[in-house]
Homo-oligomer: A and B are copies of this chain.
């Protein structure tokens, strides 16, 4: 909670506009985060993961600060261009792309594409001739709070073949990427992936192809309920792993922070709609908010991300609660497996503040599920 956000919420309340949940993002925090990344990894280019929060003001600020952009789709490329990024600062980082979208990206000037199989390489060779490609490899997501599935990347032993295929089809076999898992709290997790990446560099080199870049992915955490290491700790661990595996031939590197760039810049104000018990002797209260899985808090799926929730009654005695959203959907329950402790004095109609909600909240909202509007968002 920054002073600026506090001031904004106070004004909104005074004007009687606090009728539904809203997210407020403080650009000063985004600026600080960008500078922390730039300082922690001075030789690494920052590609902001647009999907984390594509608010135009966030993109414009980052474009001005010199950030590059990791995009998932043509609309995200267009948003990045509109924010002032030149096309050489944009990566089409989704490994799953329609050929006509690759073509459109190429027309817009994008020359850097992610792949993880030969079929995707062939699409790019046809639709974006001569472009640079990097191959994403699978890596262990241990230690991450939002661990990645096997959806993206191929086995490391397959990557050399994919990149050689790209080279043969006239593309620039440019490098290797991986992702150690979102909200990765262990800075040493980059080590194993960099070892695999270095092996791919060596194997391609033996085949006469010189890779140039390692995309270190995202995974940089934001503070939720638990403290997380500082960005500079990640920078040091990554630099140490790079030196260990690449010696004095350290390649060009890029990072793709999303959550780490905007997560702690945002705060959601919500309202307690109902507090009840399921039976007279129930020891657990149900606390229903006006925000749930479908209008902003999708990352509570499987209770993976556990947001700090602040109330005006903090400091009073607490009791266990199940926290749920306002919709008529039974899966719209935020925390039940591990009940959340909230003040016993909390009342229906009270406001609550949900911290660390700058990433993966706004665009995740459903368009109108149960008639509820998507999460309102303000960037200040």
B residues in contact with A290, CB < 8 Å: 98
- Do the beta carbons of B371 and A73 come within 8 Å of each other? yes
Asked if A148 is at the interface of the complex by the 8 Å CB criterion, the answer is yes
User: What mask results when residues 276 to 293 of chain A are scored 1 for a CB within 8 Å of chain B, else 0?
Assistant: 111110000010101000
- Do the beta carbons of A366 and B366 come within 8 Å of each other? yes
Supply 4 further A-B pairs (C-beta < 8 A) apart from A151-B286, A363-B366: A51-B371, A149-B333, A158-B280, A161-B280
From A74-82, A226-234, A243-251, the one touching the partner chain is A74-82
Decide yes or no: A371 and B276 within 8 Å by CB, A146-B330, A366-B366 being known contacts: no
23 interchain pairs, CB-CB under 8 A: A51-B329, A51-B370, A72-B371, A73-B370, A73-B372, A76-B370, A96-B273, A96-B326, A117-B276, A119-B276, A146-B330, A150-B278, A151-B333, A154-B276, A154-B277, A154-B278, A157-B279, A158-B279, A158-B280, A298-B366, A363-B366, A364-B366, A364-B369
For window 143-161 of A, CB contacts with B under 8 Å fall at 146-155, 157-158, 161
Decide yes or no: A54 and B286 within 8 Å by CB, A93-B328, A151-B330, A280-B158 being known contacts: no
Total contacting residues, chain A, CB less than 8 A: 81
Min CB distance A299 to B, Å, is: 9
Asked if A346 is at the interface of the complex by the 8 Å CB criterion, the answer is no
B residues in contact with A95, CB < 8 Å: 274
- Do the beta carbons of B154 and A279 come within 8 Å of each other? yes
- Do the beta carbons of A75 and B372 come within 8 Å of each other? yes
- Do the beta carbons of B96 and A294 come within 8 Å of each other? no
User: What mask results when residues 320 to 339 of chain A are scored 1 for a CB within 8 Å of chain B, else 0?
Assistant: 00101011111111001000
The residue of chain B having its C-beta at the shortest distance from the C-beta of A99 within the complex is B349
How far is it, in angstroms, between the C-alpha of A195 and the C-alpha of B54 when the chains are bound?
52
